[in-house]
Amino acid sequence: MIITLWWKAWSWKGTVSKLLAEKLNYEIISIGTLKRKLAEEMWLSILEFNRLWEKPENQKEFDLKFEEYQKGLDINSSVLLESRLWFLCQPHAFKVFLDVSDEVASQRILWDNRTTDNYDSLESTLKATRERNESDRERYIKLYWIDLCDSKNYDFWVSSDNKTPEEVCDEIITAFEEFKKVHKNA
């Protein structure tokens, strides 16, 4: 069964995904990796890229190219789909929201050295993190009429604040096993 994962920036998504894929013997399909690659190719920060992506005239170029691919995936595939279009593409999958507070995310950004997320202070990092999260949220409300930060849209919501990626992974696996029991005959 497909697992979809939506995340806030810097919530350990990459590490958690790798752990889940390893433990469940799943393949990772990461739309985010493709998105970051496009941003780098365009010499844009991820925030600049998101602003460009928000424009309705760019929707087809940015979102729709990934949408059709995701819709073609078999629900019974052993796939961890890192995607923000899960609600359109795989609505019957096990849907996970990986949360993190803006403060913790900003601290993690400062500890890392990515070329697309480089800031000089905690304050500027926190401001950019909040902008990015709000930009993502507003874009999906405007384009798809769905609030990606509404917990009712997910089967499991987990915060990575004060947890290791391993702890988050174990919580997701436990919730997934319960989900499969309930939805076995659905």
**Residues 72-85 pLDDT 10s:** 888 888 989 887 77
Give the least confident one: 12-26, 87-101, 104-118, 138-152: 104-118
Among the four given CATH numbers 3.20.19.10, 3.30.930.10, 3.40.50.2300, 3.40.50.300, the one describing domain 3-183: 3.40.50.300
The tokens of 91 are what?
């609505």
Angle (deg, nearest 10), helices 13-24 and 165-183: 50
Higher pLDDT: 108 or 134? It is: 134
Distance of alpha carbon 111 from alpha carbon 39, whole angstroms: 21
Domain ranges of the chain: 3-183
Q: What is the pLDDT of residue 33?
A: 66
Q: What is the pLDDT of residue 176?
A: 96
Confidence class of residue 113 from pLDDT cuts 50, 70 and 90?
low
Distance of alpha carbon 90 from alpha carbon 87, whole angstroms: 6
Q: Calculate mean pLDDT across residues 123-141.
A: 83
Q: Are 81 and 3 in contact (CB under 8 A)?
A: yes
Q: Is 30 helix (H, G, I), strand (E, B) or coil?
A: strand
CA-closest candidate to residue 170, choices 158, 162, 154: 158
